[in-house]
A and B are shown apart, each in its own frame.
Chain A
């Protein structure tokens, strides 16, 4: 085929292909957030989303509202203290993530929260004993079911009760981790299963991502 083409045509074709390539490069490199940050497990939202207003309780018993997320990045995990397998596994992983990020300035280190999706059993006292067993710096959050629902609905956190034997129940819940920026806006989500090294590496990339 090339044999039948004249030389000038090939040169013109090559030049226009280069021009197109440069145009694409210029267009994409000028759009915000396009500096292709390659995450392993994290999905970053195109625009951060503020959370709705809610009134919950921290494990200390103090009021906890969306303003508590201001000033520092946060990682949120939704679980319950009667969860034997996934919740302790994830919280131990988050404790390791936290310690692997301790080279960062305090303002860049994430504050880590476990929000209960089982407020019937998870009182602030229960949450205090539970989360602090993993890391003294973790914060447990619980409160009225409908207030928790405001948060879970805004982040798309699926959860619900699964009836068991003898009136007991288990709670099914999203295993994802939710990332908020220092303005308290929802900016990214990491789907399960989690890996400590991957979370640490993705979190470091998030710090320099203009979208987050």
Chain B
């Protein structure tokens, strides 16, 4: 009982710490080419810990952000919202053109090439993982 409580407490503490076992790299963001409020962000997400679930995303520069996936089926692109996305333990999720991406809308400021935009991934266990993205026309 004591051990179970300790494990539970440890889990709670880790959840509150921000989870250093998950981190993002190579983040970049493509603002709408015609200067509108639409944008899209990509990055690689590494998980050195156990499996976890992503339940959402926020952008400090946009009114709305959501995880979407482009699925190519019979040569047709379908876009699908991913409200819950599993991030398996010891695995990497690649957000890249033509696949998983962060769909952004309602840009609150003018985004120029070279600017930095902070995203936050939200996890089912309460963790929040920051993702830094740089505005670019194409994958840097």
Contact among A130, A170, A175, A193 with B33 in the assembled complex (CB-CB below 8 Å): A130
Contact among A81, A92, A159 with B138 in the assembled complex (CB-CB below 8 Å): A92
Could you give, for residues 22-62 of chain B, a 1 whenever the CB lies within 8 Å of some chain A CB and a 0 otherwise? 00000000101111001110000000000000000000000
A5-43 interface with B by 8 A CB criterion: none
B28 shortest CB reach to chain A, Å: 12
Contact among B33, B35, B70, B76 with A85 in the assembled complex (CB-CB below 8 Å): B70
B33 touches A134 (CB 8 A): yes
A130-B33, A130-B34 in contact; A85/B75 too (CB < 8 A)?
no
A92-B137, A133-B34 in contact; A162/B78 too (CB < 8 A)?
yes
Q: What residues on A are CB-neighbors of B72 within 8 Å?
A: 175, 192-193
CA distance A162 to B70 in the complex (A): 13
B5-13, B98-106, B110-118, B125-133: which lies at the interface: B98-106
CA distance A85 to B30 in the complex (A): 9
Q: What residues on A are CB-neighbors of B134 within 8 Å?
A: none
B32 shortest CB reach to chain A, Å: 8
B interface residue numbers (CB < 8 A to A): 30, 32-35, 38-40, 68, 70, 72, 74-79, 81, 97-98, 101, 103-104, 137-138
B33 touches A173 (CB 8 A): no
Q: What residues on B are CB-neighbors of A92 within 8 Å?
A: 137-138
The prevalent SS among residues of B at the interface is strand
**Interface size, A (range):** 20 to 34
Could you give, for residues 65-88 of chain A, a 1 whenever the CB lies within 8 Å of some chain B CB and a 0 otherwise? 000000000000000011011101
A-B contact pairs, 28 of them (CB 8 A): A81-B34, A84-B30, A84-B38, A84-B40, A84-B101, A84-B103, A85-B79, A85-B98, A85-B101, A88-B30, A88-B33, A89-B98, A92-B137, A130-B33, A133-B33, A133-B34, A133-B35, A158-B74, A162-B79, A164-B81, A172-B78, A172-B79, A173-B76, A174-B75, A174-B77, A175-B76, A191-B75, A193-B72
A160-202 interface with B by 8 A CB criterion: 162, 164, 170, 172-176, 191-193
A104 shortest CB reach to chain B, Å: 23
- The verdict on A153 contacting chain B, using a C-beta distance below 8 Å, is no
Nearest 8 Cβ contacts at the A-B interface: A133-B33, A129-B34, A84-B40, A89-B97, A130-B34, A175-B77, A170-B79, A86-B77
Q: Most chain-B Cβ atoms within 10 A of its Cβ — which of A81, A88, A91, A126? A: A88
Q: What residues on B are CB-neighbors of A89 within 8 Å?
A: 97-98
Q: What residues on B are CB-neighbors of A130 within 8 Å?
A: 33-34
Which residue of chain B has the shortest Cβ distance to A176 in the bound complex?
A: B75
CA distance A175 to B75 in the complex (A): 6
A84-B38, A85-B40 in contact; A173/B101 too (CB < 8 A)?
no
